[in-house]
Amino acid sequence: MKNKIKIYFIRHSKLDLPYENHLQMPYGILNDLATGQLDPSIVQNSNKLFLKAAAGLPLKNIDVIYFNNSNFQSKRSRDSAFLIGKVLKEKYNRKVPIFGNPYLKEIDFCLKDILSKEKFLKEKMPAVRTALYNALINKGPVEQIDHVFKRIEAVLKSLKKHQDKNQTVMLVSHDFYMRAVEVFFRKSKNFRNITVDDLEKTTLNTYFKGFSVSDDGKSFNRF
């Protein structure tokens, strides 16, 4: 019987910006984050945020960490990954290797292309999500769902080398990308079967939160 790779998808830490979270950010800041014009690092107390958010995880079992090294919205993923590595070293005296994978980047879109400022001011983040999901599925001016699924498949393929060693992998990524991963595992690996409603039903991944999956897709558990 082949070994199964245990995979943890985890969102990056809170950004080093004067806002409580993404839900509180103004239209212009969200647009600049989405397009990569703004690429901040993470807040200084991220180690405390991580330990609180990931309290129930078997952290001492993590064998390798990957982050988004695409140079597109990548600082928060990179800095979160190295912070996690530092915590594992300090807490468990384990030096875990950390690698970049550009396929872990956020979904590519420009907020101004899919949602007006007027509608945003009325409906806030729910309107952003719906606009992005509609554009993803209905050939709007964003990265398309078929391309996002190809990136997910590329990530999973790159992890096969950890199978023989029965290793546990942590992938530090972004919320919208992780929502696509969720429907990939929970609904269908065929992008043609994914609907806007499927994406609407996914769960918000708050900072340092996410889910675990097995590479065969037979297990999916949120943390």
State residue 3's pLDDT score: 66
Q: 184 lies in a domain?
A: yes
The reported pLDDT for the residue numbered 7 is: 96
Q: What is the CATH number of the domain that holds 91?
A: 3.40.50.1240
Does 1 map to a domain? Answer: no
pLDDT value for 29: 97
| 3-class DSSP assignment, residue 101 | coil
Q: How far apart are CA 68 and CA 55, in angstroms?
A: 23
How far is C-alpha 167 from the chain's CA centre?
20
Q: Specify the pLDDT at position 154.
A: 98
Pairing type for strands 168-173 and 210-214 reads: unpaired
Domain that residue 54 falls in: 6-222
Confidence at residue 95, expressed as pLDDT on a 0 to 100 scale: 96
**pLDDT at residue number 1:** 45
Residue 137: inside a domain: yes
Residue 143 falls within a domain, yes or no? yes
pTM of the model: 0.96
Note whether residue 81 is domain-resident. Answer: yes
Q: Identify the pLDDT of residue 216.
A: 79
Write down the pLDDT at residue 2: 61
For residue 163, what pLDDT is reported? 86
Dihedral angle, C-alpha 91, 97, 100, 101, nearest 10 °: -100
Give the tokens for residue 62: 């993590």
**Is residue 190 a part of any domain in this protein?**
yes
pLDDT of residue 218: 82
Question: For the chain, what is the domain count?
Answer: 1
Give me the average pLDDT of each 10-residue run along the chain (223 residues).
Answer: 81 96 96 96 97 95 97 96 98 96 98 98 97 98 98 96 92 98 97 98 98 88 95
Please answer whether residues 91 and 55 qualify as being in contact, where contact means their C-beta atoms are separated by less than 8 angstroms. no
